[in-house]
């Protein structure tokens, strides 16, 4: 959401299977920006159905004592904006980080387009194919 990263959004968002909307618990303005970030992501990632797209909301900096956003306010926002799961995390001490990513992963796998989320690799057959001549040409 920061201005200096805006030029990266299209290539960075394209092909995303989920989105972790993250705000700082000690920064009320970052919480106020969630709706804009969700809308921006949906546009630049070309999300066809934002209502069913797997968003997970993270309130980060749980380790910082000067809190400006309550858990109740964050859960209310999640409920009113698509019923997204909410986790309070700390990147500093890893509190709930794994749980948040596991939930995002579960939601991706539970989505309607499961085959779209499987890793498909291109393979090259390195064995020489034998030519079976038909006798003509």
pLDDT in tens, 17-67: 999 999 999 999 999 999 999 999 999 999 989 889 999 999 999 999 999
- Give the pairing of strands 86-88 and 55-60: parallel
Rounded Cα gap, residues 43 and 48, in angstroms:
9
Residue 3 pLDDT more than 90?
no
Cα end-to-end span (Å), the chain: 63
Q: What is the pLDDT of residue 124?
A: 57
Cα→Cα distances 85→1, 57, 76, 104, Å: 20, 6, 11, 9
The domain spans of the chain are: 3-110
pLDDT of residue 117: 45
Q: How confident is the model at residue 134 (pLDDT cuts 50, 70, 90)?
A: low
For tokens 């920064």, what's the residue? 27
Distances in Å between the alpha carbon of 36 and those of 30, 53, 58, 65? Answer: 10, 16, 15, 26
Does residue 121 register a pLDDT over 60?
no
The fold of 3-110 is Rossmann fold (3.40.50)
């Amino acid at each position: 959401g920061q201005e200096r990263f805006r030029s990266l959004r299209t290539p960075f968002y394209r092909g995303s299977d989920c989105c972790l909307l993250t705000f700082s618990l000690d920064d009320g303005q970052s919480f106020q920006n969630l709706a804009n970030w969700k809308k921006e992501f949906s546009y630049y990632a070309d999300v066809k159905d934002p209502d069913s797209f797997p968003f997970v909301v993270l309130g980060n900096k749980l380790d910082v004592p000067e809190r400006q956003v309550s858990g109740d306010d964050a859960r209310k926002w999640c409920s009113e904006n698509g019923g997204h799961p909410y986790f309070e995390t700390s990147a500093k001490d890893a509190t709930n980080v794994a749980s948040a990513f596991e939930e995002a992963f579960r939601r991706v796998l539970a989505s309607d387009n499961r085959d779209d989320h499987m890793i498909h690799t291109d393979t090259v057959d390195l064995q020489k194919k034998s030519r079976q001549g038909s006798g003509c040409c």
